[in-house]
Amino acid sequence: MRYAVQWLRSLIFVGQMYLMLPVIGLLYTPAAIISRKGALAGCKAYCLWVRWTAGWMVNLRTEVRGTPPEGQVLIASKHQSFLDILLIFSELPAGRFIMKREILWAPVIGLYGMRIGCVAVNRGKRGAAIKKMVQDVARGSQKPGQLIIYAQGTRVAPGVKAPYKIGVGVLYEQMGVTCVPAATNVGVFWPKRGIYRKPGLAVVEFLEPIQAGLGKEAFMERLEDEVETASDALMREAGFDPEARR
């Protein structure tokens, strides 16, 4: 019975979440067209709405730990569900994402993605895709802010091992900026797919910065070790044993 009630609450929550996406998007559209600041404000408003409604509709509280970075940095995060996108973005002054090119054609999201300076990439041949990504990032470097990339390239469910993509190492090396790793446990509560939202405390944690200057291989090794170790600790804190799924 308790599961059925929580599932129904989750269904209502998910429904209103997707309903409010175009509502808030359209409300902020004039400001988004005028300036990047307007687009950032609209995106943050939606993030905060989802975090607030998740708290009282499905008893899913959210928390961001560590120090959200400012200035021109690269953020390399673990990605488990849509929720970690919202948590990270809501805490940054001017975040922008490396994202799939198909998202540019999505209603509302595509407009805001372009306006806040997201970098759209094709999922094609790895070498060509990475080269194009670096070129696009370089062209958009005049837009200040925090560039967010998901180090494994896609959502990865809790307890599942997936390789870290070399693209994040290439960006770190080419951009010559500090990288801030980010760990999370959100997938324990908010799945990669599906309706059910589990009550609890979903966390994103900004870790200690990795300063510019490491070699690509050394950087990749350190990034994976720190993000995976911290994410596993957060999942255990949430009552999930990642090792049991491996």
Residue 60 pLDDT > 70, yes or no? yes
> What mean pLDDT do residues 154-181 have?
91
Q: Phi-psi category of 133—alpha, beta or left, where left has phi over 0 and alpha has psi -120 to 50?
A: alpha
Contact 89, 109 (CB under 8 A): no
Q: How confident is the model at residue 243 (pLDDT cuts 50, 70, 90)?
A: confident
- φ, ψ for residue 155, nearest 5 deg: -70, 135
Query: 216-237 vs 166-175: helix axis angle to the nearest 10?
Result: 120
- φ, ψ for residue 97, nearest 5 deg: -110, 150
Q: How confident is the model at residue 110 (pLDDT cuts 50, 70, 90)?
A: confident
Residue 49 C-alpha from the chain's centroid: 16
Residue 26 is predicted with a pLDDT of: 94
Residue 118 pLDDT > 90, yes or no? no
What are the residue boundaries of the structural domains of the chain, listed by start?
63-245
Residue 55 pLDDT > 60, yes or no? yes
Residue 121 is predicted with a pLDDT of: 78
Q: Which 3-state string (H, E, C) describes 150-208?
A: ECCCCCCCCCCCCCCCHHHHHHHHHHCCCEEEEEECHHHCCCCCCCCCCCEEEEEEECC
Q: Which range (65-74, 166-175, 189-198) has the least confidence?
A: 166-175
- Provide, rounded to the nearest whole percent, the portion of the chain with pLDDT above 70: 91
Q: Taking the CB of residue 131, how many other CB atoms lie within 10 A of it?
A: 12
Separation between Cα atoms, residue 174 and residue 170, nearest integer Å: 6
Residue 230 C-alpha from the chain's centroid: 16
Residue 177 pLDDT > 60, yes or no? yes
Q: How confident is the model at residue 63 (pLDDT cuts 50, 70, 90)?
A: very high
Give tens-digit pLDDT for 121-159. 776 555 555 666 666 666 655 567 899 999 998 899 999
Give tens-digit pLDDT for 203-226. 999 999 999 999 999 999 999 999
> How much is the mean pLDDT over the chain?
90
Q: How confident is the model at residue 100 (pLDDT cuts 50, 70, 90)?
A: confident
Give tens-digit pLDDT for 178-206. 999 999 999 999 998 899 999 999 999 99
Residue 24 is predicted with a pLDDT of: 97
Residues in the chain: 246
Site of tokens 């599961």: 3
Separation between Cα atoms, residue 172 and residue 213, nearest integer Å: 9
Q: Which 3-state string (H, E, C) describes 1-62?
A: CHHHHHHHHHHHHHHHHHHHHHHHHHHHHHHHHHCHHHHHHHHHHHHHHHHHHHHHHCCEEE
